[in-house]
Amino acid sequence: MNSTVTVVGAGIFGVCTALELLDRGHSVTLIEQFKDGDSRTTSNGITRNIRFSHGDDVWYTRSARKAKSLWRQLETRFSTQLMDKCGVAWFSHDEDGWASSSQKTLEAEGIPVERLDPSEGKKLYPSFGYADLAFILFEPDAGVLRAQKSVSTIRKEFTNCGGRYIQGRAEPNGSYLTVNGEVFNGDALVWACGPWIPNLFELSTDIKVTMQEVTFFDSTPEWNSPNVPAYSDVEDEDAFYGCGGLEGFPFKVGSDLRGPVFDPDKDDRKLSVDQLQICTDYIGKRFPALEDSIIVDRRLCQYTSTGDSNWIIAPLPGLKNQWVVGAGSGHGFKHGPILGNYVADLVEGKCDPEAKFAANDRPYLTGGWRVMYNRPHI
């Protein structure tokens, strides 16, 4: 049955949900507080990696794989390239750790994966330091998404297809919400508000917003995507990720350890000297030819993480057909289109919410991503 749905938040979770509901024939309004491309929105990074490895978790592995097909369908629909199939390389420090679990899961799921000797990293990158590595797990079908471009393109498609888009800040008010003085109380309200969720609702699920940074190092075209794979360094004390130059930005390095706790409404967006040093040390060790490269840009962005790294996709307790969708926990972007389908199914009552995504009183189930939430902040 056609219903009226309001989606708050035009990050990747919100735009994918809004477009999917619109495609299914619902009357959808999308509300966003910022202008298109605002860097405070988590999804507006230049790039986000897409990989299928999720340790031994089959749910997320399948979700990422299905999401890739949906990203390809969106590319066809928009006649534009959103993904680079450059592969993703996992630098494993442990013969039998997280990357090994991922390898077993990927093989069982029939997803292409190769276990390489660390020295083979020299074939993947123009220069590569590997003395501390046990092996490289290479996912040839994985790659990089043009994140900001994707969000912006999906949002435009939403309005082109007849969705109503409103710029303003939505305020929850029990059974309805208001924005710019207008009341919305349709058949369903979806709050896809990223790092603003803890400021909007009191949820008992452990949720923490932290400030993260990425650094872009000057590099020659041989370091651009798709000439080099995206990467992730999976050792506990050495958690880094990044990708080759893309969208006019050069080689990217980010630390995956959780940064300082951050309130997007109250705290200054300040770059950290420590983070810069950590990334500079890392690039010298792993990609020695870039050791003396100048820093071209640094960007801030926040992770919204749960204690177990599973997202929150759940009914808001005590409210009829209101949903909270978020807590991407540093690994949500790639799943955007599949997550939009899942939320649309929930809104339509076609499936029951998964216990692992509950907003309150949920079981502790590890799976989605490495749990680094309780580590000391850097």
- Work out which of 5, 6, 7, 13 binds ligand FAD, going by CB under 6 A: 13
Checking DSSP bridges between strand 4-8 and strand 27-32, what pairing results, if any?
parallel
d(CA 35, CA 65): 31
- Work out which of 6, 29, 33, 63 binds ligand FAD, going by CB under 6 A: 33
Whichever of 75 and 220 has its CB closer to ligand FAD, that residue is 75
Closest Cα partner for 253 from 216, 210, 289? Answer: 216
- Work out which of 118, 259, 332, 337 binds ligand FAD, going by CB under 6 A: 332
Cis check for the bond before 172: say yes or no (omega within 30 of 0).
no
Distances (CA, A) of 268 to 44, 107, 117, 249: 18, 45, 44, 24
- Work out which of 331, 356, 362, 370 binds ligand FAD, going by CB under 6 A: 331
Residue 79: half-sphere exposure toward Cβ, Cα within 13 Å: 0
- Work out which of 41, 148, 150, 225 binds ligand FAD, going by CB under 6 A: 41
Q: Which residue has the tokens 């949903």?
A: 323
48 interacts with ligand FAD by CB under 6 A: yes
Q: How far is the CB of 119 from ligand FAD (least distance, A)?
A: 26
> Quick one: which segment of 26-34, 73-81, 108-116, 342-350 binds ligand FAD (CB under 6 A)?
26-34
14 interacts with ligand FAD by CB under 6 A: yes
- Work out which of 100, 302, 309, 310 binds ligand FAD, going by CB under 6 A: 302
d(CA 235, CA 136): 12
d(CA 319, CA 175): 6
330 interacts with ligand FAD by CB under 6 A: yes
Closest Cα partner for 82 from 156, 152, 146? Answer: 146
254 interacts with ligand FAD by CB under 6 A: yes
341 interacts with ligand FAD by CB under 6 A: no
> Quick one: which segment of 19-27, 131-139, 281-289, 330-338 binds ligand FAD (CB under 6 A)?
330-338
Q: How far is the CB of 117 from ligand FAD (least distance, A)?
A: 25
- Work out which of 34, 78, 165, 176 binds ligand FAD, going by CB under 6 A: 34
> Quick one: which segment of 2-10, 289-297, 341-349, 358-366 binds ligand FAD (CB under 6 A)?
2-10
Amino acid at 169: R
Distances (CA, A) of 215 to 118, 166, 311, 369: 25, 33, 26, 22
170 interacts with ligand FAD by CB under 6 A: yes
Q: Can you give the C-alpha Rg of the chain in angstroms?
A: 20
Closest Cα partner for 18 from 165, 196, 212, 208? Answer: 165
212 interacts with ligand FAD by CB under 6 A: yes
Residue 90: half-sphere exposure toward Cβ, Cα within 13 Å: 28
The residue count for binding ligand FAD (CB under 6 A) is: 37
- Work out which of 301, 338, 347, 358 binds ligand FAD, going by CB under 6 A: 301
Q: Which residue has the tokens 């390095």?
A: 253
- Work out which of 89, 106, 193, 246 binds ligand FAD, going by CB under 6 A: 193
71 interacts with ligand FAD by CB under 6 A: no
Q: In this structure, what is the dihedral angle of CA atoms 195, 353, 361, 315, given to the nearest 10 degrees?
A: 60
Q: 76 and 44 in contact (C-beta within 8 Å)? A: no
Closest Cα partner for 142 from 181, 102, 108? Answer: 102
Whichever of 224 and 275 has its CB closer to ligand FAD, that residue is 275
Closest Cα partner for 173 from 321, 326, 319? Answer: 319
Q: How far is the CB of 11 from ligand FAD (least distance, A)?
A: 2
Q: How far is the CB of 346 from ligand FAD (least distance, A)?
A: 16
> Quick one: which segment of 86-94, 192-200, 282-290, 353-361 binds ligand FAD (CB under 6 A)?
192-200
Longest dimension (CA), the chain: 61
Query: At 78, phi and psi to the nearest 5?
Result: -95, -5
- Work out which of 19, 22, 29, 43 binds ligand FAD, going by CB under 6 A: 43
- Site residues (CB under 6 A) for ligand FAD? 8-14, 31-34, 41-43, 45, 48-49, 169-170, 192-196, 212, 214, 254, 301-303, 326, 328, 330-334
